[in-house]
Every structure is written in structure tokens, then in C-alpha cells.
């Protein structure tokens, strides 16, 4: 009698044995096939990871397989190795890893019937490639000179330097060699322009996209096209890194520094790091591109204090001959009085652009009308009832919203505590900035671009069309507009409210701020019109702004890495974070304290366990949250400790409503 060993998407570090029914021929060649099984009282889909002649459990006690799902060939061996790695490294049960990486349509117990991919009209001929710059030719030659096999390239190119054209030339080479390419981008809003450009360039490549805005049927259909090898080009967000591709020959990660590549729930993995492992395992090249690389990647390529794991390639000039990097100026708001959040210099600069029919972007990474509503009479402020955070005023639809848990309510007509009707908004968000600009420039066409105005892909594409068509004079935007977009008529960027991140408790905040400002500054002057960036700040002498004025990422990165080495922070140390949340903070702290007190922990001399502490956002969605940091100078030592520690965590008795998770290489603290 045959036994199928099955991985299920449940939070248990084990596999499950099922009896193969009489008449169903399941062999070792079926490893990777999907099956329908009964687990407890429910039916679910699992993946066969082994076939044996017997089990430790008597045959009569084993449940039979409900069905073998042969609508899809077995998942390939390299996909198994990839999910095995993620399970071990990120300390997540193998079944959870495997099932979470499949499209929802393939996890359903009654999967929909496979349908042929919809035929999309294609251009009759490929788009003509532009002439390469000297730097682009040098980069491509350097990549080709490395030959076949695994090589990790870090492509550091200033904004507008033509990194995308380098990607396209590499894709062209891969297609000519009969290989598939996986192109990863951090966010959905970066895909429309890039997808259109790639499709126009390679009309016969069978390009498919994989991201969360696709319908279940479309995502399953596109995934199958990649799995079958019919799609030679896959453009996707982070989960696409797990897509099986039989002829994969090249991986590209655009904006590799972006935090969106890190999953923040479920299996907390880094798609960028998984992509590097996958390239190494498949023995193929990978290109990581960014104008502001992550400091971990920069250290792997450019820091002489660590072994060089990546090959650094650089594009220092903009690809359009007439385009120059924008001039960056600091406006000292200690000496220049602001008018409704704007300096006179910034208002004058906007007025000049209006007179020249050029576009301006006012950047403020805070949506809503104001960060808080308050009563000056009694001190009431609009706090979230479920979080340790304030409710943000969204005046456009008369709501107070929590940007952490989603709670919302109507704006009160009077103070809920004392009845004072003169309650006022404090601070500024994009809606309030839009209102100020409408009053100051009534003749201007002002377009606000944030997650309130672009809730869907369709809305986002409509906004992009308006910008490109010249139907907007002033853009008011958050980080949605900071990267990956090319607006030829945009010549001015004004930055508001950046100082808050300079002295944040999170030691990664300066890196994020510099990347954000470099990216948003890069929107200006990308064509033949000169660009200008004005940053309003109370700290104009800060080294971060000084490096930004010089467009000097290497100097900024060197200073940051020196500080991190002195402090013992990544990339010179390796971390994991154990977090717990419960209705009572005492329960969360107690769970973490029990985990920290594990006697065997003292045997790991290279591993440091810090004291449990409340998180910065200590309450979210009515749950109190705490965390415990684990740190080691050795990745191997940390992994060894975590693999042993995980068993203890599973055995700790905790209140029923307490939830915990372990995150390796955390980004948020």
C-alpha cells in the first residue's frame, strides 16, 4: 500500500501521511502534485512531497486522499529547493511556505477549469530600441564579460540614467538564448508604464504580469503561462519570485532597496533576498537596480570592510543628452516664515512654472487633511479607540481614519469631551496642501495623487494619463509619485515635512529618507528642461541634506555604514524579532520573557537576546504589542539558535488570544 506524504498550509512544522486509494497510481514521479485531503473537519489542498510504501501509523488509521489533482503537472524540483530554503531560513512551516506561494485558484478544493489565456492585441513589430549611451554600453559589456552562471550585479544608476534600457537589452539577450526572464518591481503602481514599455519592445514574448490587483482567474492563468514556459517574460511584485519557470535564465529586481519587497505578515520574507538565492541555486545572473541601493546591497558590492559578493556597475549620467540632474536647494525655515506651510521661495518657484506651462510637484508623505483634530479648550485630540495612534482628518469625505487599523468615524461637529464647537485640525496632509494651493493659484489645474485618490489600478492609470497629457499644472503627492515615473514637463519638486525622519527612533529612518528624497528629486528635469528641487527644512546643515545637494549617494552610504559598524547594526550583525500581541500587554511581555529565559540560550555565546519591550505602536486593533530582539554577529549562529528556539516557542502555554510571530531580518521595529 502506498502512502503519500503531504505538505499542508497549516502552522505546524510537520508533514502528514495519507493513504493512496486503491486504483490511484501514485509514484515518485508524482512528487509535487496537488492533492485534495481532509484535515480535521475541512477539505483542503496539499502538495505531495514524498511517496512511500508504509508509514509509522497503521494503515487503517490513515485517512485516504480525497482526490489527486492532475490539472497541473507536478511542481518542479527547483521550486521545492526554493521553498525548502525559505522554510528553513525564515522559520516557517514548509506547508505554509508552499501553499502561500501558489495562486489562490490553485489552493481551492474545487479549482476552476483551466481556460486559455486571453489574447491581447499585439503590435505588429517590436518597438525600436533607442541608441545606448556610452555608460550603458560599458555596463552591458561588463555583464557579458562575466560569462554564464551565477553573478549578482548591483546596478547603481542615478535617476533618469537609463537603468530600464539596460534591463531591456539584457531581456533581449535572454530571449534570444531561449531563456525566460523574471522582472520584479516593488509596487503595483510601478507596473503600468513599465508593462506597456516591455510589451511594446517584446510583442512576441508572451509577457504576463503577476500582482495582487489581478483577479483570481487572471493570476492563475498568468502563473500557468509562466509555469508552462509559454510566457517568456514575467513582470511581478514580490510573490512572483516563487513562480516556477522552466527556462529561467535571468532575474532583475528593480528598485531593489524598496521596503515593499519585504512581506510584513504571514511568511515575512524578502523577495530581493529570495531572488538572489534563486539565481544562485539556478546558476543564472541577477541584476539588482536602484538609484539608492539598500545599505546591505551596497556593503555587498562597495564596502571594502566586507567581502565583495556583488559586482558594482554604475550609471552616473542621465540617459537623455540634454537632461541634467536637478539643482537641489535648501530653504531654511528658521529664518523664512511659512505661509500655510509654504515658504515664499517655493510659492514663487511654482508661479514661475505656471507662467512657463511647466509642471510642479509638491511632495508631502502624509495623506489626509491633517494628522490630528484637537480641542484647544479641554485638550481632547482625535485618538484611535483601537490603536496607540491618532485618527487622521480626511476632510474631503468628512471622516476621521486610522492609517494603522482602518477604523474610521464621522468628523464630530463639536468636541466629544467638552462640547466646544471650535475644534481645529493641526498639521498638514496632502488634502490640506491641495486646498492651500487651490486658494493661492485658482487658475492652476491641481491634481492630488495619494492612496485616497488612487485606490485602484484603474484610478491610478487615469491619474497618470492626466499627468502625461499635460492636464495638470501642480501635482500634490506622496511616495506614490516618488519613483519609477517619467514626466517630461515636470521641472520643479518642492519637499515639505521631511525633517521628522531625521531624528526618528528607527535607525533605518535616515536611509529611507535619503532614498525617498533622491527618488522624488529625480522626477524633475528628466527631459530637456532643467529641474530644480526645493527642500524646506529647519536643519539645512544636516549631513543628509548636504549629500543630497551633491547627489552623492556613495558618501551618504559610507557614512551610514560606518555608523552601523560602530553600533553593531546590520549589515554588520544579523537580527530576528519575536513579536507577541494580546489583549493585555502583561500577557505579551510574559510570553516573550518565557521565551527569553530558555536555559539553552546561554549555550549560544554568539547570540544576544534583549529584554522584551512594548513596540513603538504599542496597541493596534485593540491588541497590545511587544517585541524581543535577537542579534548575532554570525548569520550561521543566529540560524542555528532559531532552529532550536522554534520548538520551544511552539510549546509555550499562552492565553488563547495571544498571537506571536518570528521575523528574520526585520525592517520594522
C-alpha cell at 523: 522626477
**What residues have CB less than 8 Å from 92, skipping those under 6 apart?**
86, 267
Residue 551 sits in the same domain as residue 648: no
Number of Cβ within 10 Å of residue 599's Cβ equals: 7
What total of structural domains would you count in the chain?
A: 4
**What residues have CB less than 8 Å from 68, skipping those under 6 apart?**
24, 26, 30, 33, 35, 36
Please tell me the predicted confidence (pLDDT) of residue 349.
96
Q: Could you tell me if residue 395 is inside a domain?
A: no
Q: Could you tell me if residue 123 is inside a domain?
A: no
Rounded to an integer, what distance in angstroms lies between the CA atom of residue 565 and that of residue 397? 48
Q: Could you tell me if residue 203 is inside a domain?
A: yes
C-alpha cell at 288: 539588482
Backbone CA torsion sign across 92, 98, 103, 107: negative
DSSP string, 355-391: HTT-EEEEE-S--SSBSEEE-TTT--B-B-SSSSSBP
Contact 138, 178 (CB under 8 A): no
C-alpha cell at 191: 507596473
Please tell me the predicted confidence (pLDDT) of residue 113.
65
DSSP string, 560-576: HHHHHHHHT-TTSSEEE
Please tell me the predicted confidence (pLDDT) of residue 119.
44
Please tell me the predicted confidence (pLDDT) of residue 82.
98
Residue 148 sits in the same domain as residue 251: yes
C-alpha cell at 658: 495571544
Q: Could you tell me if residue 216 is inside a domain?
A: yes
Compute the residue count for the chain. 669
Domain final residue pick, 91, 107, 123: 107
Question: DSSP class of residue 393?
Answer: E
Domain that holds residue 487: 327-367+429-563
Rounded to an integer, what distance in angstroms lies between the CA atom of residue 605 and that of residue 610? 14
Q: Could you tell me if residue 401 is inside a domain?
A: no
Residue 338 sits in the same domain as residue 311: no
Place of cell 547594526: 569
The pLDDT mean for the chain works out to 91
Q: Could you tell me if residue 122 is inside a domain?
A: no
Contact 336, 345 (CB under 8 A): yes
**CA 106 to centroid of chain Cα atoms:** 24
Q: Could you tell me if residue 404 is inside a domain?
A: no
Domain final residue pick, 530, 563, 596: 563
Rounded to an integer, what distance in angstroms lies between the CA atom of residue 486 and that of residue 454? 18
C-alpha cell at 292: 539608492
C-alpha cell at 165: 534600457
Residue 480 sits in the same domain as residue 337: yes
Domain containing residue 94: CATH number: 3.40.1440.60
Rounded to an integer, what distance in angstroms lies between the CA atom of residue 256 and that of residue 261? 8
Please tell me the predicted confidence (pLDDT) of residue 478.
86
Residue 245 sits in the same domain as residue 265: yes
Rounded to an integer, what distance in angstroms lies between the CA atom of residue 310 and that of residue 297? 8
CA dihedral 334, 335, 337, 342 (to 10 degrees): -70
Could you tell me the pTM of the whole model?
Answer: 0.92
**β partners of residue 664:** 576
506 backbone dihedrals φ, ψ, rounded to 5°: -75, 120
**What residues have CB less than 8 Å from 330, skipping those under 6 apart?**
535, 537, 540, 545, 549
The closest of 604, 588, 586, 587 to 645, measured between CA atoms, is: 604
Q: Could you tell me if residue 234 is inside a domain?
A: yes
Rounded to an integer, what distance in angstroms lies between the CA atom of residue 92 and that of residue 69? 25
Question: DSSP class of residue 427?
Answer: S
Residue 472 sits in the same domain as residue 558: yes
Contacts of 665-669 with C-beta under 8 Å, sequence gap 24+, read: 665/270, 665/273, 665/570, 665/574, 665/575, 665/576, 666/268, 666/575, 666/576, 666/577, 667/259, 667/262, 667/508, 668/264, 668/506, 669/505, 669/506, 669/577, 669/615, 669/616, 669/627, 669/629
Residue 157 sits in the same domain as residue 254: yes
Residue 207 sits in the same domain as residue 341: no
Number of Cβ within 10 Å of residue 143's Cβ equals: 20
Residue 207 sits in the same domain as residue 172: yes
Domain containing residue 585: CATH number: 3.30.70.100
Residue 552 sits in the same domain as residue 581: no
**What residues have CB less than 8 Å from 251, skipping those under 6 apart?**
181, 182, 184, 275, 278, 279, 284, 285, 286, 287
Domain containing residue 229: CATH number: 3.40.50.300
Place of cell 521553498: 83
- Burial of residue 298 (CB within 10 Å: 0-12, 13-18, 19+) is buried
The closest of 551, 17, 600, 624 to 291, measured between CA atoms, is: 551
Residue 540 sits in the same domain as residue 633: no
Residue 637 sits in the same domain as residue 599: yes
Q: Which stretches of the chain score pLDDT less than 50?
A: 117-121, 123-124
Amino acid at each position: 500500500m502506498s502512502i503519500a506524504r503531504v505538505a499542508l498550509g497549516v502552522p505546524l512544522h510537520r508533514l502528514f501521511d495519507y493513504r493512496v486509494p486503491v486504483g490511484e497510481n501514485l509514484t515518485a514521479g508524482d512528487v509535487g502534485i496537488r492533492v485534495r485531503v481532509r484535515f480535521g473537519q475541512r477539505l483542503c489542498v496539499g502538495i505531495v512531497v514524498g511517496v512511500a510504501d508504509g508509514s509509522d501509523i497503521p494503515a487503517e488509521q490513515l485517512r485516504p486522499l480525497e482526490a489527486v489533482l492532475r490539472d497541473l503537472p507536478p511542481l518542479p524540483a527547483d521550486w521545492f529547493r526554493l521553498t525548502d530554503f525559505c522554510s528553513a531560513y525564515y522559520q516557517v512551516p514548509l506547508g505554509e511556505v508552499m501553499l502561500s506561494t501558489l495562486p489562490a485558484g490553485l489552493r481551492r478544493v474545487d479549482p476552476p477549469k483551466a481556460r486559455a489565456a486571453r489574447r491581447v492585441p499585439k503590435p505588429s513589430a517590436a518597438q525600436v530600441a533607442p541608441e545606448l549611451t556610452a555608460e550603458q554600453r560599458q555596463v552591458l559589456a561588463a555583464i557579458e564579460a562575466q560569462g554564464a552562471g551565477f553573478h549578482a550585479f548591483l546596478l547603481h544608476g542615478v535617476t533618469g540614467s537609463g537603468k530600464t534600457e539596460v534591463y531591456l537589452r539584457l531581456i533581449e539577450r535572454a530571449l534570444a538564448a531561449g531563456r525566460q526572464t523574471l522582472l520584479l518591481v516593488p509596487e503595483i503602481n510601478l507596473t503600468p508604464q513599465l508593462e506597456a514599455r516591455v510589451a511594446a519592445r517584446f510583442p512576441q514574448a508572451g509577457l504576463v504580469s503577476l500582482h495582487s490587483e489581478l483577479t483570481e482567474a487572471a493570476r492563475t492563468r498568468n502563473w500557468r503561462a509562466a509555469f508552462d514556459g509559454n510566457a517568456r517574460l514575467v513582470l511581478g511584485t514580490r510573490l512572483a519570485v516563487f513562480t516556477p519557470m522552466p527556462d529561467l535564465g535571468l532575474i532583475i529586481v528593480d528598485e531593489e532597496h524598496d521596503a515593499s519587497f519585504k512581506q510584513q505578515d504571514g511568511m515575512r520574507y524578502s523577495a530581493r533576498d529570495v531572488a538572489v538565492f534563486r539565481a544562485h541555486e539556478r546558476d543564472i545572473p541577477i541584476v539588482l537596480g536602484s538609484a539608492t541601493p539598500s545599505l546591505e546591497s551596497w556593503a555587498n558590492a562597495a564596502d571594502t570592510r566586507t567581502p565583495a559578493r556583488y559586482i558594482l556597475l554604475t550609471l552616473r549620467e542621465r540617459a537623455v543628452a540634454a537632461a541634467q540632474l536637478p539643482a537641489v536647494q535648501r530653504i531654511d525655515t528658521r529664518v523664512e516664515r511659512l505661509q500655510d506651510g509654504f515658504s515664499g521661495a517655493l510659492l514663487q518657484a511654482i508661479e514661475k512654472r505656471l507662467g512657463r506651462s511647466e509642471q510642479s510637484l509638491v511632495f508631502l508623505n502624509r495623506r489626509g487633511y491633517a494628522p490630528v483634530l484637537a480641542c484647544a479648550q479641554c485638550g481632547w485630540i482625535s485618538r484611535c479607540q483601537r490603536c496607540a495612534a491618532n485618527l487622521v482628518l480626511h476632510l474631503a469625505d468628512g471622516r476621521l481614519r486610522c492609517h494603522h487599523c482602518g477604523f474610521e468615524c464621522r468628523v464630530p461637529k463639536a468636541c466629544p469631551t467638552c462640547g466646544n464647537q471650535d475644534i481645529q485640525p493641526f498639521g498638514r496632509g496632502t488634502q490640506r496642501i491641495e486646498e492651500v494651493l487651490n486658494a493661492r493659484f485658482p487658475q492652476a489645474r491641481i491634481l492630488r495623487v495619494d492612496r485616497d485618490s488612487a485606490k485602484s489600478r484603474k484610478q491610478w492609470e487615469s491619474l497618470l494619463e492626466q499627468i502625461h497629457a499635460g492636464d495638470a499644472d501642480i501635482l500634490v503627492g506622496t511616495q506614490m509619485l516618488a519613483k519609477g515615473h517619467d514626466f517630461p514637463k515636470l521641472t520643479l519638486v518642492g519637499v515639505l515635512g521631511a525633517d521628522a525622519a531625521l531624528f526618528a527612533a528607527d535607525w533605518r529612518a535616515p536611509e529611507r529618507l535619503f532614498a525617498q528624497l533622491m527618488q522624488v528629486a529625480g522626477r524633475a528635469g528628466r527631459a530637456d528642461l532643467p529641474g530644480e528641487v526645493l527642500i524646506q527644512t529647519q536643519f539645512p546643515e544636516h549631513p543628509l541634506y548636504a549629500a543630497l545637494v551633491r547627489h552623492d549617494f556613495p558618501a551618504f552610504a559610507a557614512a551610514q555604514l560606518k555608523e552601523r559598524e560602530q553600533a553593531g547594526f546590520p549589515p554588520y550583525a544579523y537580527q530576528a524579532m519575536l513579536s507577541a500581541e494580546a489583549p493585555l500587554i502583561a500577557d505579551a511581555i510574559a510570553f516573550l520573557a518565557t521565551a527569553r529565559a530558555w536555559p539553552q540560550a546561554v549555550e549560544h555565546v554568539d547570540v544576544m537576546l534583549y529584554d522584551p519591550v512594548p513596540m513603538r505602536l504599542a496597541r493596534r486593533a485593540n491588541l497590545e504589542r511587544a517585541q524581543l530582539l535577537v542579534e548575532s554577529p554570525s548569520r550561521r549562529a543566529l540560524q542555528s539558535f532559531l532552529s532550536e528556539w522554534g520548538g520551544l516557542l511552539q510549546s509555550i502555554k499562552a492565553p488563547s488570544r495571544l498571537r506571536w510571530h518570528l521575523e528574520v531580518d526585520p525592517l520594522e521595529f
